[in-house]
Structure 1
Amino acid sequence: MASAFSAPHKPKIAISACLLGAEVRFNGGHKESRLCSQALSEHFEFVPLCPEVAIGLGIPRQPIRLIGDPAQPQAVGSVDSELNVTAPLHDYGVEMAALHRDICGYIFMQKSPSCGLDRVKVYQDKGRPAELSGRGIYAQAFCAAHPDLPVEEDGRLNDPVLRENFLTRVYAYSAWQDLLKHGITRRALTEYHARYKYLLMAHHPVQYKALGKLLGTIGKNDPRDIAAQYFSELMQALKKCATRRTHTNVLQHLSGYLKQSISADDKQEIQQLIAQYLQGIVPLVVPLTLLKHHFRQHPDPYISRQVYLQPHPENLSLRNAI
């Protein structure tokens, strides 16, 4: 039987509260993301956070903005520049990072001086933005404490490739948290890596080999000594978006497991759909669905454990648009 997605629980994702419709913005409004509040809320337990309200800024309030050095900006009031909330935002980020250790991802409000991940304007003398953009003060502090955590901005999630990549990483992070709860053993680590073989090959083939070599160093040593490094490198590898070419390579590998069991006509049909996927004629879900059909007819125990076949719930339809 081909791999079907199963998660023991809904992964927790922290999210900027305004994206769920909370009226916490400086103007008393919200920035509700229907994708988050409707499509994703069925599959994830959201933890809404608003650092600006949490540190005592009112609703409504004067907007804050970043000024100074883009590498280490200050967050000040846009009307009253004497208002400086850099330290409170940073400290709240550190506090929340320590409190929320069970989350598997974070969706931030884009371009926000507190929550933006990238491309946040940093103003210079006479109100001109610096050539280099910055990162929101709170987001910087939170992410520094959780360097491997999958993070994304709401606007980028409208891109199907980035959305699929982010949620794939969220579920990989969740699976790793479950592994940690049961305890790191040599067997658990090697089985986790084996399950992620083809997903890693689709995202970063070079890093897949490097991670295999890292696991080869366990020997008689304690596997816990390399677990953190392994997972950090795995998350970096998955952050790289898979391409049509790398997906095609994996689809060809998977089809090889069926060469002894299916007819010449069936093989030809698979190859035709893989070629159409590579050319951009059909989405990834089309050749994958056919492969999964054949693996149900001709089960392979190794393939049935591969996360690649179903890295997230099928009804999220994430591979219908890539």
Structure 2
Amino acid sequence: MSDLTAGKIPVGISACLTGQKVRYNGGHKQSRYCLDVLQDCFEFKTFCPEVAAGLGIPREPIRLVGLPDELPRALGTNDPSLDATDDLLAVGTEFARQNRDLRGFILMKGSPSCGMERVKVYHPNGMPNTADQGLFVRTLRQTNPELPLEEEARMNDAVLRENFIARVFAYDDWKTSIEPDPSYHAIIQFHSRQKYLLMAHHYEGYRELGRYLADAHQQPLPEVMQHYISRFMHHMRHKATRKTHTNVLMHILGYLKKEIDSECKQELLDAIEQYRQEHVHLVVPLALLKHYVKRFGSDYIRSQTYLNPHPHELGLRNYI
């Protein structure tokens, strides 16, 4: 998980973000971060639902139109008789069903098809009315609710960026280590190594799933698998904070307190406190902690994905 040269992870992406000229005006919204950085570890599956729905390039722009509490429709901005709703939902559902191997999807912000949230919905009279998700995103969530989603523009936020990529790698762990040869033992092993990563994202979620697994062997394995991954990915959507990271760092330190001397322990405590007080980024106490875990930690604590949830070359924890 710490090597970018390992097999790339399949991740979907709005085609315009890769430089493909598929937007309504024949342009694109190329993302240098996706192409120059993430493409080293992600195998991108490009898709433009509007082109797939037959709207053509260039095309009349569409927008979401509807009343609150009803499914908005994708209508032509200039010609409201153009209704692409059913076609967009159909191609989106088909794409989601045929690409269940994806570990995530990077979306175009504000798009009536690909916008993840806060997409403008207009009243039939033409006035902005409310906000919703894009129609393609709606089908992704309905067909594969566990799939990590994020808008490319939101990844300018270091915390949101790290959250999304951590979810992608955790989901990849599940898809590669559990689904091919499922067993109760394999699920427990997954939970064991993801324990502190989950705790950093949602402490109550970590406790909930621990209690669930205690009696899970009494239930049918397919039900346990579906329940566990659904809840795990739901809890992982929560953003880890300095408070939750500090809590996890202290828990891991607890596994070393008998193996390291008081001077080393104080050095670690000082680094964690500097992070808690926002004087340094997470990489500072974490690098020190990983050094001592490598030297003195048990196999259990060294196996924790929290220590290396994604390739260190991405530098995601250098900014949170």
Q: TM-score, normalised by structure 2?
A: 0.96
Correspondence for 1:46 among 44, 47, 50: 44
1:178-209 Cα deviation digits (max 9, x unpaired): 12343221210111010011111111111111
Whole-Å separation in 2 of the counterparts to 1:75 and 1:157: 26
Change (3 A) 1:284 1:17: same
Q: Matched residue pairs, number?
A: 319
Spell out, residue by residue over 1:107-146, the C-alpha distance to the aligned partner (whole angstroms, 9 max, x if none): 111110111111111111432101x201111221122101
Is 1:106 the counterpart of 2:69 in the alignment? no
Q: Which residue of 2 aligns with 1:177?
A: 175
C-alpha separation in 2, matches of 1:105 and 1:286 = 29
Q: Which has the higher contact order (CA 8 A, sep 6+)?
A: 1
Corresponding residue for residue 115 of structure 2: 116
Q: Which residue of 1 aligns with 2:268?
A: 270
Match of 2:256 among 255, 258, 262: 258
Using a 3 Å threshold, how does the CA distance of structure 1 residues 99 and 151 change in structure 2: closer, same or farther? same
Q: Secondary structure of 2:317's match?
A: coil
Is the CA contact 1:76–1:82 (under 8 Å) kept in the aligned structure 2? Answer: yes
Aligned to 1:85: 84
Backbone CA RMSD of aligned residues: 1.6
CA contact (8 A) 1:5 1:310 kept: no
Q: Does 1:74 align with 2:85?
A: no
Instruction: Tell me how far apart the structure 1 counterparts of residues 283 and 274 of structure 2 sit (CA, whole Å).
Output: 12
Cα pair 1:5 1:311 within 8 Å, conserved: no
| TM-score normalised over the length of structure 1 | 0.95
- Structure 2 gaps of 5+ residues are none
1:80-100 CA-to-partner distances (Å, cap 9, x unmatched) read 111111000000011101111
Whole-angstrom distance in 2 between the partners of 1:138 and 1:281: 42
Structure 1 runs of 4+ aligned residues shifted over 4 Å read: 3-8
- What amino acid is aligned across from residue 134 of structure 2 in structure 1? G
> What is the distance in 2 between the residues matched to 1:269 and 1:221?
46
1:5-55 deviations in Å (ceiling 9; x for gaps): 699621111110000111111111101111111110011000010111112
Structure 1 unaligned runs (5+)?
A: none
Given the alignment of the two structures, is residue 188 of structure 1 paired with residue 186 of structure 2, yes or no?
yes
Give, as a single letter, the amino acid of the residue that structure 2 aligns with 1:182.
P
Distance (Å, rounded) in 1 between the aligned partners of 2:123 and 2:298: 61
Q: 1:90 to 1:4 in 2, by over 3 A?
A: closer
Q: 1:157 aligns with which of 149, 152, 155?
A: 155
Output aligned runs, 1:1-322, within 5 Å: 9-70=7-68, 71-130=70-129, 132-322=130-320
